[in-house]
Structure 1
């Protein structure tokens, strides 16, 4: 079962180390991405189960320790589909098992198959390893919000800024000296660490009614 991904737009990709911690990291990235794509809670929960299973399976494959696991999250607005891909450098192809009632394992791909609209396995373009992909129906998936590019020094509290594959509300803005020369802008965001960039670096922002720290009762450090 092979389907080309050319119809998909607005994609997020990353590479994860071969560590157990990569499963929750993949889920966290998925949550951050889907929170901006307008999917329903049912789709979010299904996607989380599927991605967890695919990454877990990829980590079990025997490959050299320096080989990472590739993750791609993409959407097709025209078809109302969410696509999850996980790549590894291992040989062989995963197969759906039929475990006995008293067996505790072997049901992961059964779960994936039950949740998927379509799924399959492709050879990687490099010729090493494979990519397991799953498509989920997501009829409520939305287009990327429109943003504009401005220099970091122009960003203000109350806007949203595009960082790490998702939109974040800007809570605070302060200026620091930059080791490379010139000022640096430090943005305090609603989630995750602060974003520190050179004042002239372009950032994508949008205005959508996010309350400023003053309006929300938060204080802005000097």
Structure 2
């Protein structure tokens, strides 16, 4: 169901994030590619320039999570939703960047597995686990589906 090293944490509902981008995309490879590009562009606009650790890492997280939504969470005629938030903690000098991908498939939950060395697929969540500060899965309350999310903590200048 989810990584045992990264427990589920609720979506950021108590306070509004400093910056937010929220959009629906077609559940196709083209939609996943557009989502990934918009994440990188939005982060650049928000002060995390292209070719920085924060931008590159969160863009890779977006690529993996959107690809999984298209490949494993696809329901014909249904889109996936991407939500990107950035919250800065001025006291610590760190910034939490959170990406959430919501699809409408309930019965197929992401599982962290270790593929064989010659396997051509199955490493996406291993990358997410390695790159994200936290990640998890939150079931949707009002409708079928789930939200797979990942957070990356960036420090000033990253």
Q: Give the TM-score, by structure 1 length.
A: 0.59
Asked if 1:43 is matched to 2:54, the reply is yes
The aligned residue for residue 5 of structure 2 is none
Higher relative contact order (CA 8 A, sep 6+): 2
Please state which structure has a larger fraction of its residues in strand. 1
Please state which structure has a larger fraction of its residues in helix. 2
The aligned residue for residue 77 of structure 1 is 88
Report how many aligned residue pairs link the two structures.
Answer: 141
How many Å separate the matches in 2 of 1:133 and 1:73? 10
How many Å separate the matches in 2 of 1:63 and 1:29? 20
The aligned residue for residue 10 of structure 1 is 19
Q: Unaligned regions of 5+ residues in structure 1, if any?
A: 142-222
1:21 to 21, 26, 30: 30
Residues 200-215 of structure 1 aligned to structure 2 (within 5 Å): none
**Where has structure 1 moved over 6 Å in runs of 4 or more?**
none
How many Å separate the matches in 2 of 1:63 and 1:81? 28
Q: 1:143-171 CA deviation, whole Å, 9 max, x = no partner?
A: xxxxxxxxxxxxxxxxxxxxxxxxxxxxx
Residues 1-222 of structure 1 aligned to structure 2 (within 5 Å): 1-6=8-13, 7=15, 8-39=17-48, 41-61=52-72, 63-78=74-89, 80-91=95-106, 92-140=108-156
1:58–1:69 Cα contact (<8 Å) kept: yes
1:38–1:140 Cα contact (<8 Å) kept: no
Q: Give the TM-score, by structure 2 length.
A: 0.82
How far apart are 1:105 and its partner, in Å? 1.2
2:95–2:153 Cα contact (<8 Å) kept: yes
Q: Which is higher, the Rg of structure 1 or of structure 2? A: 1
Report the aligned-residue RMSD. Answer: 1.7
